[in-house]
Chain A
Amino acid sequence: MHKDGKLEKARQLVKGIHELPTIPEIATKVLDLFDKPDVELEELAETILVDQVMASRVIKIVNSPFFKPLHEIKSLKRALIYLGFRQIRHIALTCSIIDAFEGKNGVFDIKTFWEHSFGVGVVAKIIAQRIRYPEIEKSYIVGIVHDIGEVFLSYYLKDGFQKVVDEIKGTSGNFVDTELKLLGTTHCEIGFCLARNWNFPAEYCDVIANHHSPSSASHDPALAAIVNLADLFCSVRHLDYGGREWVSFNLAEEPAWEILKSFSPAFADLDVERFCYELDERVPEIEDLVNSLFEGMIKR
C-alpha cells in the first residue's frame, strides 16, 4: 500500500477513538527541556512537584533495588540529585506514558513492552556513542518511545491487534507486515499520529514513523537507523514482545547498517561480536530497570 494510504488509515483509526489517551503536560515539558541545555535542577523539581503522583513515584523508584541508594531517600530534591538530571527525565517521561494507558487491559503484557522499549533505548544510546552521534540523549529517549504505536494498538484496537498477534504467533512473521495486511496500516503510522497529537518534537515523530524504514526518514535518517538497528539487536536478545517462533537478521543486508557506516566510516570496523556480547551483558540491567519502574508505579 502507498505510504499516504497507510498514514490516512492510521489517522482515521486514531481519530475514531473518542477518548484518546492524554499524556500529562509534564512529559511534553520534559521533552521541551531538551533544547534548553542550561535548565536548572530547581526548575525541573518545580515542574515535577506540580504533579504529586509523579513526585511520589520518583521517590519510590529512586529507592528501588535498581538504583539502590545507601540510605532511604525521602525528598524529591535529593532524589533528583541522586538520580541525576538525565535519568529523571527518562523516568518522568516513562511514567507519563505508562499513566496514559493505565487502567486498561491491553493485548500484550505491558511490562514486556517496556522491556523492549528500554532495551531499544539503551542499545540506541550505545550505538549513538559508538558512531559519535552528537545527540546521545535523544537517541535514548526516541528509542524508548519508538513503539508507542504498538501500545495504542494493544489497548485501543484490541480485536484487530489480537488478530495480528495470533497470526504472528509461532511463525517468523513480523508486526509491520502483518499489521499492514490485517489493519491496512502499521504501528509506525499510528505512533506518528499519536506523537503528533501529543506534540512530540517533529524529529521524534519522524523516527517513530520510520524506525522500520530508516532510509525514508526525512529529518534524520541516522537517528532512525540507530533506532532500527537497536530494535534488531534487541529482537534477538528476548527484548521483544515474544510470540514469534523465529527472528534473525543478516547485518550486511540491513539498510540501517549502511546508513550508519556512511554516517561514521569507522563504524564499518565495529567488532560486531564483542558488541553483541557486551549487549548480552546489559540485558539483566534493563530488566532490573523496568522492574524498578513498575515497583514504583504500584499505587498505594
Chain B
Amino acid sequence: MKEQSKYLEGVDKKDLFSSGHRACGGCGQALAARLVADAAGENTIACVATGCLEVFSSPYPDPSWRIPFLHSLFENAAAVASGVDAAYKALKKGPVNIIAQGGDGSTADIGFQSISGMFERGHNVLYVCYDNEAYMNTGVQRSSFTPYGARTTTTPTGNTTRKKNMPMLAADHGISYVATATVDDFRDLQMKIRKALTIEGPKYIHILAPCPLGWGHHGELTVEICRLAKDTGLFPIYEIVDGKVTNVRKIPVKVPVEEYLKPQGRFKHLFKKGVPSKVVDEIQEIANQNIERFNL
C-alpha cells in the first residue's frame, strides 16, 4: 500500500464500518458513523439506538460493524451504554471506548430521559447524536430537532416550532465536553471524537448528518448542504469544554439562508412561484441570532 496522501494527515480510515450497508446513496449518517468508528478505533463498543443506522447497518448475517455492536430500543441507548460502562467497572476490565449512538429522535425526544440520566450519573460514555432533523427511518415525521419551516409528513405546511438546542441542554448537565460537527469537515469531526474519548466522564457530540431522502436533495449534495448549514450560521460549530463555549468556527464568507434552503425539497414550499415567503426571513433571523450568540 502506498503512503498516505499528505492531504489526509491526521485522519483515520480503518474501515471499521464497512461496505454493504443498506443506507441510501449519499447518506450522511452512514458517512458520519464510519468517520466516528474509524476515529474511535478497534477498542470500541458501539451501543446504537433503533433508527436508520441500526436498520441499515446491522441485519443478520452481514452487519457492517467491525467493532462490538449492541442494539437497544429506541429510548435506551444511553442506558444500555451506562450498563456496559458499569459492567466494565464491576469486572475491573477496560479501558474501552463506549460510544452510544442515536438519531435525533432517540436523542431529543424518546431517549432524552436515559441520556439525561447517563449524564447525571457521570458514566464514562460518549454519546454521539446523528442529527438528520426528523424521524427518517419511519417515514420523515417531525422530531424536536426539525428546524423551523421544514416540511415533514406530520408538518406538511412547514414546522412551526424551533429546533431544540440539544448541545446546550447537554452542557447544562454539567458534563465536561460537548461539541458540534458536520460530515463535511472530517478532520474536525474525527479530532473531536478523539478528543472526547480522552476525557473521563460523559461526553456529547452532535453531528449534522443530512438525509437525502428526507431533506429532498440529491445524494451528491450531502457535503455541500453541510457546508452551507455552517456558512449560513444555521448550524454553528463549537465546543463546550467545562461549560465554556470555545473553538467556535468562524464563518469565512457569510451566506444567506436561501442558498441553504433552496436545494432542499423540504423547504420547497417556502419558494412557491420563486418568491421566498416571510418564513425565509424568520429562518434568516434564526441564523443571525446564532451568528450573534456564538460570534461566528
A and B found bound together: no
